[in-house]
Structure 1
């Protein structure tokens, strides 16, 4: 369990570091787009070579497909609800105020969408990481989680600040997410003996579905809008880094 706790801290501390960095650093818009593109590349590689193949190997294609679709559906539903809650339309009659409110709401929505992405794919992913520690120290998955968590949390924190959130609130939010995901690794390790291959397969595939949905709905559209023309190169770099961590 001690090893699981250390792995959880290492995987999740990137959220705290990124969250703090994002509250103090105000990079150009293009830089945030490049960071999101890099995170997208790491997640594509992790999904293609780690999450879904391991899910299929553990529980078969049908169960893994159900898990994948379920993860995507949950992300879409939750993200749509977040859009309505944190980015409401302004209706004050003052165009300048409306524009400001809508802009801030959009930034908040982006920040919380990234939080949803990290949490929804991170919880089953970290549970799987904890369960795998009963057999071997999965350094590959650990580093892939770290590599994607940092840019997502930093850009998420930047967006939250631009949306009007207090610096202390942003840091607390991302620190809370890090704590939850650390506990998921410990929980996965404690329950590994009772976790069947089919359950592990569903968890991995569910995480993969959340990754796909976050890529299509949030990360890559924002990376394209903010980071072009360098977003393509950053995505490729993120893919290669994650691939090397897995097979290098």
Structure 2
């Protein structure tokens, strides 16, 4: 259990690192988009090979398919509710602002983002939790096989969290949120991520293979829907066509970590 907490903390701590980078460095929206695209590729690979493939081999197709559908539907419903509450731009460096064509950064675009920021604080917190909990639970689940934590899963969560919090923190600062509020937000999400990893490990230790497979692919379905609904659109908006290339690079890095 302590090992699960440690690795959950490692994966979640990158949220704070990304937030600090977003607050301290003058990172362009294009750079954030490219890093986010890389993180999306890492998560796609981890969901496919570390979660779905293992679930299929252990529990069979029906359990794996049911988990994917349930995870996707659950995330979709939660994301829809959070979007309606004001969290639809939670991964954007320009919260509430109108997207600038081709992801270019201009003073006018930044001013528009700050002036029209409408994202609700509660929706942001819930959105960050909705995005982070399936990833961290997957880290805890990866320990159940007895062979140690999945390095690829930890790396995937760590790398994908950095651009997420970097981008969101940049937008939150532009919308007038204080540094203390921003860092407290990510510290809270990191704590929740750690707890999720522990619960993923503790509650499923004696679960049947079918249940394990369902939970693994439930996390995979939620992660893949999150990538498609929130990460990739924001990345393309701010970085353009190059996102496709860096997404493949992220996928390749995660894949070879899984295959090693």
Q: Name the counterpart of 1:96.
A: none
Greater CA drift, 8-17 or 189-198: 189-198
Gaps of 5+ in 2: 89-95, 97-111
Matched, 1:105 2:143: no
Greater CA drift, 220-229 or 115-124: 115-124
8 Å CA contact 2:113–2:174 kept in 1: the answer is: no
Q: Name the counterpart of 2:107.
A: none
Matched, 1:126 2:139: yes
Q: Name the counterpart of 2:207.
A: 195
Q: 199, 203, 206: which is aligned to 2:218?
A: 206
Greater CA drift, 30-39 or 16-25: 16-25
The structure-2 alpha-carbon separation of the partners of 1:109 and 1:4, relative to structure 1 and needing over 3 Å to count, comes to: closer
Matched, 1:115 2:128: yes
TM-score by length of 2: 0.79
SS of aligned partner of 2:118:
helix
Q: Name the counterpart of 2:245.
A: 233
The structure-2 alpha-carbon separation of the partners of 1:214 and 1:109, relative to structure 1 and needing over 3 Å to count, comes to: farther
Bigger helix share: 1
RMSD: 2.8
The structure-2 alpha-carbon separation of the partners of 1:103 and 1:61, relative to structure 1 and needing over 3 Å to count, comes to: farther
Greater CA drift, 184-193 or 45-54: 184-193
Measured in 2, the distance between the counterparts of 1:223 and 1:242 equals: 19
Q: Name the counterpart of 1:36.
A: 36
TM-score by length of 1: 0.83
Gaps of 5+ in 1: 91-98
8 Å CA contact 2:19–2:169 kept in 1: the answer is: yes
Shift of 1:243: 1.3
The structure-2 alpha-carbon separation of the partners of 1:13 and 1:121, relative to structure 1 and needing over 3 Å to count, comes to: same
Measured in 2, the distance between the counterparts of 1:109 and 1:227 equals: 28
